[in-house]
Amino acid sequence: MTKLIIELTINGKKKKVETTPSTRLLDLIRDDLHLTGTKEGCGKGECGACTVIMNGELVASCLVLAPQADGAVITTIEGVGDDKGLDPVQEAFIESGAIQCGFCTPGMILAAKKMLEENLHPTEEEIKRGISGNLCRCTGYQKIFDAIRLAADRLSSRDGGRGEEDA
Amino acid sequence: MKFSEVNKPVKRVDAYEKVTGKAKFGADLFFPNMLYGKALHSKYPHAQIIKINTEKALTYPGVKAIITAEDIPNNKFGVIIQNQQVLAQEEVLYIGDGIAVVAAETKEAASEAIKLIEVEYKELPGIFDPEEAAKKDAPLIHSELEDNQVVHHRVRKGDVEKAFTQAEVILEREYTTQFVEHSYIEPEAIIAVPYEHNSLVTIYGSIQNPFSCRNAVANVLKVPLNKVRIIQNHMGGSFGGKDEVISSMAARAAVLALKTNQPVKMVNTREESILESYKRHPYKMKYKVGATKEGKLVAMEIKCIADSGAYACQTPFVTWRSVVQATGPYELPSVKTDTYGYYTNNIYTGAMRGYGSPQIVFAQESLMDELADELKMTPLELRLKNIYHNNSITASGQKLDNHQVSLEEVIAKAVKASNYIEKYIEYNKSQLGDKKRGIGMAVSFRGCSLGAEATDAAGAIVAIQRDGSILISSGLAENGEGLKTVFSQIAAEELGVDIKRINYMEVDTSVSPESGATVASRSTLLGGNAVKNAAQQIKRTITEMIADKFKVKSGDLVLRNENIYNKNNNQKIMSFDDAVDLANKLGVFLSAYGWYKAPDISWDEETGQGRPYFTYVYGCQIAEVEVDTATGQIEVLKMVAAHDVGRAINPVTLKGQIYGGIMMALGYGIMEEVEIASGYIKNTNFDEYLIPTIKDMPEIIPIIVENPDPHGPYGAKSIGEPTLELGAPAIANAVAQATGRRIRHLPLNLERVLLGHSLSKGGTKNDIL
Amino acid sequence: MEESFGDLKGCQKTYQKTALSQYFAPQKIEEALEILSKYGEEIKIIAGGTDLLVQYYDRLYEINNWLDLKNIIELKKIRISKNQMEIGATVTHSQLENSEDIKKYFPILSQAAADIGSPQIRNRGTVGGNIVNASPAGDLLPPLMAYDAQFKLLSVQKEELIPAEEFFVGPKQTIIKPDQLLTQVILPLPYEKTYDSWIKIGKRRALAIATITLALVVKMAEDNKTIKEARACLGSVAPTPIQIKEIRERMIGKNFNQLDFNQLGQMVEDKISPIDDIRGTREYRKDVAKEIMINALEEVYSSWWRSYK
C-alpha cells in the first residue's frame, strides 16, 4: 500500500505522520495519534461526533482524507483548555449539566467553541444553527443550549464589551 | 427534611473526563497484538445455509481466524428464552443474523476477508407480519416450537361483555406503531482479552448490563461465571439497546480471542449497528372502550400484537408491562386485555426506554381524546372524571394504597404551566392560513422497577480507604443518565461527607455485586437503596466504635459536615478523618456490602390480577404544535412535562432525563421509523434514519413533583422512562386538534399529516436516491 | 463489489489497486488536467469530500488514485467579471452562504447553501461537488438552474460551456467525461428587477436531505409590471433537477394580476413524475409541489408588491 508522509499541527504540536491516501483524518487522529476524544458515530458526517477544527473551520473528520489535512492546523478536544484549567465552554458544560453519556460532548464543545469565537452574542437561532450538525440522543439538547448561553454570557462579560467597540 | 448532598444539583462526578475527551469508551481502548473482528451478515431475511466456505478468506493477508456457528460451544443464548443464535447455524432468521466472524490484523483486512467468504443460501419465504405469523397454518420461524407465538399475557377484570351492553357510548379504534432504533450515538464496541489476570476472558466495551453479558458469554463458552470478567467502560448511550446485541458481539469476540490467543476488538459501523441491533417493538392495537354519556368509563377491551422479530429477546417482559398498563391510569370496573408477541423474520425487537409503554400510551391517550370528542367534552374533563386517586383499584386489581397517587396534581401543574385551558379553547376556533395550531395532553401511570417480571434486588459496595477516601461499586451500570453521581450523593449523604471523597468504580463483574440490569428505571430506587444500605452499615460501625470508646450512646451520634457529632448537645466528637484513623488503629472494618430487595409483589398469569408493581409514578405532558397543512410539516412549539418522581436526588440530572425523554418522544412521534420491506432494512444510517437535531427542539418546561415514596431512597422513585411515553400521544392529540384529523399511526410523518395515510414505499434499497 | 463476494478475480483486482495507489494534489488547473488525461476513469477527483467519502466511507481503500483539488487557489474564488458571476468549483457552501455578492445577486443560491446539512458539511462541501455528484436532491442545483447557470468544463484538449439544463442526464449521471474537470460555474448577472423564492421541504429542520425543493426566479421588464423571465426549477421530483418550462411559457409577458397561482401550482403538480423513496412518496411530492409553488409565487409576488408600491 502506498505510504505518504504528512505534516500537521495538532493541538499546537507539529507532527509528521505516515499514512495512506485512503486513510480518513478521523482514523489518523484516533488510531495513529491515539487522540481518542474524537469519536466516530456514523462515518457519514451526519452525527458530528468526529468534529474537529481544521484551519479555523469546523469539519467532520470522517469526511476528510488524511492527505487533505497535510499542512493543516487542527484542534481536537484534547487541545481545548490548557494546563491552567478548562476552557470556559468546558466549564459551562459541567456547570449546566450539559453532559450525559458524553459521547457527543467533544464534538459539541468544539462546535460551541467555534461558534462563540465568531460570535460572542449569539441569538437563540444562531446557537441552534451552530450545533445543528451535532446529534445528541441523551440530553434533548436543552442543557447544551443552556451551557452555550452561559459560556457566551461569561465570555462576553470577560470581553468587557470590547467586541462591541471593535464592531 | 433537610439534606446536605441529595435533593441538590450536584455536578456530575464524571463530567471532567467527558469534557476533556479523556473518558475512554469501548472503541478507545487499544491492546498489544490486538486483532480486529468483523462479522459477515446474512444476505436474506430468511434462508437456509447450505454451505459456508471460508478457505479463500483465510488466505487473505493478515487474517488470523474465522469462526462460524460450528466454532461456538453453545450457540444459543437469551435472557428470558434461549433461542438467539450467536451465529446462524442452519438458517438465517433475519437480515442482521451473523454468519461468520473474521479476526484480522487490520480493519481493512477484516473487511476484505468478509467479502471472500462464500455462502450458499437457499432463500426461504419469510413472515413479516405478526398477524400472518399468528395464523394456524403459518410456517414456523423456530422449527422446534409448536407455533410462532412468543407469549400471551392477559388481564381479566369484571365482565366486559356485560359491561359493554350497559355502555351508552362505545368506540372501537385501531392504532399502530413503528420499529424504532435506539440511536445511541456510540455504536457497539467490544474488546475481548484472553487470559488476562486470572480470567479466561475479560471483556471491555459499551455494555449496558455487564451481568447479563457475563451470563451470556459464560453460557456460550460453557464455562463457569467466575471465568468471565466484564468491565464496563464509559458508554455512549444505550436506552435499553446495548444488551442482547452486545452479548452476542461479546460472545463472538470471546470465541475469537480464545481461538487466536490475542485480544479481539469489534466496533460496529453505524450500518452494522442498525442492521444487527434489536429495535423497539411495533404494535398493532385494537381498543374498544365503553362509557356513560356523562363520561364515566365502564369497560375496556384491548388486544395488542407485538412483532418480536426473529428472536424472543425481551418480548415476554415488554408485552407484560403493556398488559399491566394498557388501560392507562383510569378506573375501570371491567377490563379484558390480551397482549401477544409473535416471531417473524423481521429484525428482532427488545428493550428500549419505555419498554412496552410508549405504544400503549399512544393508543390509550389517543383513544381518550377521541372519546372526549364523541362525548362532546374536553380531553381534560374526560380524564379528570376517570383518573386514579389514592385507593383506586387498577385493572390488575391492585389497590393503590401505599403511596401518593398524584395524577390530579401532575395534571393540574401541567395544565397551569401550559395555559392548556385557554389555548384549547383558542385553537378550537377556526384558524386562518395554512398553519394551524393545536394543544394536546397525555397522562400515564407507570410501575417502578421490574415488577413481577423477575426477582428484583440490587447490591452495592461502599469501602472507606485508609485515608478516608471512599470507593463505591454497584452492580448497576452508568448508562449516561447520571447514576454514578446519584449514588455518590446518596453515600455522601449517609456518611455526612463531601462528595469529593467518593470515587465511583466502573462495574467489574468480578468485584461488583450482581444486581440485575440497569433497566426499568430502577437504578435510583433499587441501587440507591443498596448504596444507602451499605453506607448505613458503615455509619453504624463508626458510631458503635466511637460510642464504645467515648462511652456515649451510638444512637446519639450523627455524621454530618465531615464530622461526627453528639446530637443531644451538637458537640463535635471527632472528624470523619479521625474516625477513619481510629478504625485503622483498632482494626475496625469500614467496608460494607449493601443489599436491597424490592417489596413483595404478586401476579396471576391466568387472570392478570395481583400486585404487579410495588409502587408507581405518574406524569402528564402537554404539547403545543403548529402544523403546516400545505406541506404536512409539524413544528412542536412547546412541551410541558410534570412528573412525580417521589424525590429528586439530583434535580439537574433529573431534568436531563425529562429533556432527553421528550426529544426522544418527539422523534418517535413525528419522524423516526426503521423502514423495513420484506425483512430488508432500508434506512441504515443517520442520513436516512432521522432523529431530532437541536433545531427540532421545542421550548420544554419540566415540572418536578415530589411526593416521597415509602420505599424509595429519601422517597425517590423513577424518571428515565416515564418521560418518553407521553410525548408522542400528546403531540398526536395536538395535531388532531390543529388539523381536525386523527392520525392513528406513528410516526406522524409528512405523508400522514398531509395525505392522511402513508403509502407503502416501493423500490428496493438500490433505488434510493 | 457486493456482487463479487467470493469472486477471486474481483479481489485480486483490489490488491493491485491498493498497491498502485497514488495521491495527487496539484497547484495548477493545467496539472490537474494532465493527470486527468492520463488516468481518466482510474482516478477519483476529490474536492470537499462530503459526497465522495459518504459514498465510500467503509471501503475507501478500494479507490486507487486520488486527485485532490485543495491546492488550486484559482478554483476557490468567487468573482464578478463583466456581466457575469464566476464561482470556482471548490467554493464551499459556507462561502456561497456568506458571500455578499451572492447574497446580493443570487439570494436563493445563498439560502440554498445555508440550508445544506450542517456547519461541518457546509465548510467542506463545494459547489462543484454538488454539481458533479448530480444527486436529484442536490440543494444547489435548482437555484443554479433557475439562475440560468453554465458550467465550464476543461480538458487538456478543449474548453466547454454547458448550460445547467443540459448537464444532468440521470441520478448521479452527467455528461462530464473522465478527462474533464468542472472549473467554474458562470451565472449571468441580473440587470432586471428580480424576485425569487427558495423552498426546501425535509423531514427535519437540519441535516435533512431534501424531500422536495423549489427555486423560483422571476425577472421583470423595465416597467416592473410585465414578467420578462420566469424559471421554476425543482429538485427531488425527477431523476435530475428540472425546470418546468410550461411555467415559463405561461408567465412571460404577463402581469402578476393576470396569473392564477393555483393553476400554476397545479401545472407544476401535473408536469412532474416523482418516485417513491425513503424521503417521500410520489403522491406526497406531487401534492406538496403544488403547494410550495403557490407559496413561492406568493412570496415572489409580495416582494414585488413591496418594491412596486
Judged against a pLDDT cut of 50, whether residue C9 lies above it is answered with no
Residue A61 pLDDT more than 90? yes
- Please identify, among B597, B616, B633, the residue that sits at the C-terminal boundary of a domain: B597
User: Do residue A145 and residue B694 have CB atoms under 8 angstroms apart?
Assistant: yes
Exposure class string for B487-510: b at 16+ Cβ within 10 A, else e? bbbbbbbbbbbebebbebbbbebb
Q: Look-up: residue for cell 432527553? A: B660
Q: What is the nearest CA distance from C265 to chain B, expressed in angstroms?
A: 12
Residue B2's pLDDT is 82
Please indicate whether, in this complex, the C-beta atoms of A76 and B664 are within 8 angstroms of each other.
no
Residue of C nearest to B630 (CA): C291
- Specify whether B721 is located in the same domain as B637: yes
Please report all neighbours of A, defined by 3+ CB atom pairs within 8 A.
B, C
Q: Write the residue in C21, C54, C119 that is nearest to A21 by C-beta.
A: C21
What percentage of chain A carries pLDDT values higher than 70?
Answer: 94
Contacting C residues, span 74-133, partner chain A, CB-CB under 8 Å: 94, 117-121, 123-124
Q: What is the pLDDT of residue C31?
A: 97
pLDDT at B207: 96
Position A78 confidence tier, pLDDT thresholds 50, 70, 90: very high
pLDDT at A26 over 70: yes
B327 within some domain: yes
What's the CA gap between B664 and B657, in Å, rounded? 10
Residues of B with CB under 8 A from a CB of C: 53, 56, 60, 108, 111-112, 115-119, 269, 271, 434, 630-633, 671, 675, 682-683, 686-688, 690, 692-696, 749-751, 754-755, 758-759, 761-763, 767-769
Residues 91-150 of A with CB under 8 A from B: 93-95, 97, 99-106, 109, 128-129, 131-132, 134-145
Which band of pLDDT confidence, cut at 50, 70 and 90, is reported for residue C247? very high
For the whole model, what pTM was predicted?
Answer: 0.95
Nearest CA in chain B to C61: B108
Query: CA-nearest residue of chain C to A53?
Result: C120
pLDDT at B240: 96
Q: Which of C5, C209, C292 sits opposite B115 (nearest CB)?
A: C5
Calculate what percentage of chain B has a pLDDT beyond 90. 95
pLDDT in tens, C120-152: 999 999 999 999 999 999 999 999 999 999 999
- Judged against a pLDDT cut of 90, whether residue C236 lies above it is answered with yes
Mean pLDDT over B338-358 rounds to 98
Shortest Cα–Cα distance, C159 to chain B (Å):
31
pLDDT tens, position by position, B147-164? 999 999 999 999 999 999
Indicate whether B732 and B592 sit together in one domain: no
Query: Touching check for C136 and chain B: CB below 8 Å?
Result: yes
Mean pLDDT computed over B171-191: 98
Q: Which residue of C has its CA nearest to A128?
A: C206
Q: What is the mean pLDDT of residues C244-268?
A: 96
Of A77, A100, A135, the CB nearest to B691: A135
ipTM, two decimals, is 0.95
Shared domain for B639 and B763, answered yes or no, is yes
pLDDT score at C191:
86
Is B273 inside a domain boundary? no
Q: How high is the pLDDT of residue C278?
A: 84
Distance CA A19, CA A25 (A): 10
Q: Do A45 and C117 touch (CB under 8 A)?
A: yes
What's the CATH number for A88-160? 1.10.150.120
Note whether B422 and B465 are same-domain residues: no
Residue whose entry in the numeric block shows the C-alpha cell 487499544: B30
Q: Band the pLDDT of B761: cuts 50, 70, 90.
A: very low
Residue B452's pLDDT is 84
How does pLDDT run across B584-600, given as a tens digit for each residue?
A: 999 999 999 999 999 99
Q: Do A80 and B18 form a contact (C-beta atoms < 8 A)?
A: no
User: Are B429 and B480 part of one and the same domain?
Assistant: no
Alpha-carbon distances, residue C19 vs A20, B191, C12 (angstroms): 11, 31, 11
* Statement: residue B769 has pLDDT above 50: no
Residues of B in contact with C171 (CB under 8 A): 769
- Phi/psi for A93 (5° steps) reads -65, -40
Other C-beta atoms closer than 10 Å to the C-beta of A99 total 33
Mean pLDDT across B454-469: 94
**Min distance B362 CA to chain C CA atoms (Å):** 21
**Which of B17, B18, B653, B723 is most worth mutating to test chain A (most A CB atoms within 10 A of its CB)?**
B18
User: Is residue B658 within 8 Å of residue B723, measured between CB atoms?
Assistant: yes
Q: Which residues of B touch A85 (CB under 8 A)?
A: none
Same-domain pairing of B37 and B97: yes
| Cβ–Cβ < 8 Å for B323, B135 | no
**pLDDT tens-place string over residues B395-428:** 999 999 999 999 999 999 999 999 999 999 999 9
CA distance A55 to chain B (A): 21
Same domain, B258 and B291: no
B420, B437 contact by CB (below 8 A) = no
pLDDT, tens only, C92-131: 999 999 999 999 999 999 999 999 999 999 999 999 999 9
Nearest to A43 among C21, C57, C119 (CB): C57
The pLDDT value recorded for residue C57 is 80
- What are residue B366's phi and psi, to 5 degrees? -65, -45
CATH assignment at residue B553: 3.30.365.10
**Does C277 contact B687 at a Cβ distance shorter than 8 Å?**
no
Q: Is a pLDDT exceeding 90 seen at residue B736?
A: yes
Is C207 in contact with A22 (Cβ distance < 8 A)? no
Where is the domain boundary, B235, B267, B299?
Answer: B267
For B672-695, how does the pLDDT look when each residue is reduced to its tens digit (9 = 90+)? Answer: 999 999 999 999 999 999 999 999
Nearest residue on chain A to B723, judged by CA atoms?
A140
Residue C57 contacts A where some CB pair is shorter than 8 Å: yes
* pLDDT for C10: 32
The domains of chain A are located at 4-79, 88-160
Q: pLDDT tens-digit profile of A104-151? A: 999 999 999 999 999 999 999 999 999 999 999 999 999 999 999 999
Q: Report the candidate in A21, A47, A137, A33 with the shortest Cα–Cα distance to residue A76.
A: A33
On the question of pLDDT at C285 being above 90, the answer is: yes
Contact C21 A43 (CB under 8 A): no
Asked if A40 has any chain B CB less than 8 Å from its own CB, the reply is yes
pLDDT at B54 over 50: yes
Q: Which residue has the cell 412496552?
A: B356
Q: Is residue B160 part of a domain?
A: no
How far apart, in Å, are the Cα atoms of B712 and each of B164, B234, B451, B521, B633?
40, 27, 15, 12, 43
Cross-chain residue pair C25–A44, CB shorter than 8 Å: no
The second-level CATH assignment, the architecture, of C73-188 is 2-Layer Sandwich (3.30)
Which residues make Cβ contacts (< 8 Å) with residue B500, sequence separation at least 6? none
Query: In which domain, by residue range, is B244 found?
Result: 31-124+188-267
Q: What is residue C18's predicted lDDT score, i.e. its pLDDT?
A: 46
Q: Which residue of A has its CA nearest to B685?
A: A42
pLDDT over 80 at B720, yes or no: yes
Task: List the single residue in C11, C275, C282 with the smallest CB-CB distance to B116.
Answer: C11
For residue A64, give the nearest of C49, C118, C205 by CB distance: C49
On whether the CB atoms of residues C274 and C226 are closer than 8 A, the answer is no
The amino acid at residue B664 is M
The residues in C 222-241 lying below 8 A from B, measured between CB atoms, are 236
From chain A, pick out residues whose CB is under 8 angstroms from the CB of B235: 101
Chains that touch C (3 or more CB pairs under 8 A): A, B
**In b/e form, how buried is each residue of B86-114, taking b as 16+ CB within 10 angstroms?**
bbbbebbbbbbbbbbbbbbbbbbbbbbbb
CB environment B514-523: b (16+ within 10 A), e (fewer): bbbbbbbbbb
Which chains, if any, share at least 3 CB pairs under 8 A with chain B? A, C
Of the options 3.40.50.1820, 3.40.47.10, 3.90.1150.10, 3.30.43.10, the CATH number for the domain spanning C2-68: 3.30.43.10
- Dist CA B150 CA C267 (whole Å): 53
Across the interface, whether the CB atoms of C208 and B759 are under 8 A apart is answered: no
Do B503 and B633 lie in one domain? The reply is: no
User: Residue B693: which of A43, A95, A135 has the nearest Cβ?
Assistant: A135
How close, in Å, is residue C276 to chain B by CA atoms? 6
User: Does residue B429 sit in the same domain as residue B525?
Assistant: no
Whether the CB of A43 is below 8 Å from some CB of chain B: the reply is: yes
Chain B nearest-CA distance from C189, in A, is: 32
B148 lies in some domain: no
The total of structural domains in chain B comes to 3
Q: How far apart are CA C210 and CA C277, in angstroms?
A: 12
Q: Residue written as cell 421588464?
A: C221
Terminal CA-to-CA distance of chain B, rounded, Å?
61
**Picking from B554-563, C51-60, C79-88, which range would have the lowest pLDDT averaged per residue?**
C51-60
User: Could you give the C-alpha distances from B714 to B283, B486, B490, in angstroms and in order?
Assistant: 37, 12, 9
Q: The C-alpha cell of B373 is what? A: 370528542
pLDDT of A83 strictly over 90: no
Please compute the mean of the pLDDT values over residues A17-29 and round it to a whole number: 95
With an 8 Å Cβ cutoff, are B21 and A76 in contact?
Answer: yes
Report d(CA C173, CA C164) in Å as an integer: 13
Cβ contact B712:B403 at 8 Å: no
pLDDT at A161 over 80: no
Q: Cβ of A1 and C21 within 8 Å?
A: yes
DSSP state of C250: H
Q: What's A4-79's CATH class?
A: alpha beta
| pLDDT band at B758; cut points 50, 70, 90 | low
Return the higher-pLDDT residue of B376 and C59. B376
For residue C208, what pLDDT is reported? 85
Looking at the structure, tell me whether residues B485 and B447 fall in a common domain: no
Residue B253: which CATH number?
A: 3.90.1170.50
**Segments making up each domain of chain C, as ranges:** 2-68, 73-188, 193-308
Which of B597, B623, B658 is the C-terminal boundary of a domain? B597
- pLDDT tens digit sequence for B377-386: 999 999 999 9
The β-bridge partners of B121 are: B49
Listed residue (B556, B555, B553, B558) closest to B493, CA to CA: B558
Count chain A–chain C contacts defined by CB atoms under 8 A. 104
For chain C, say whether A119 makes contact (Cβ under 8 Å): no
CATH classification for the domain delimited by C193-308, as one of 3.40.50.720, 1.20.140.10, 1.10.10.60, 3.30.390.50? 3.30.390.50
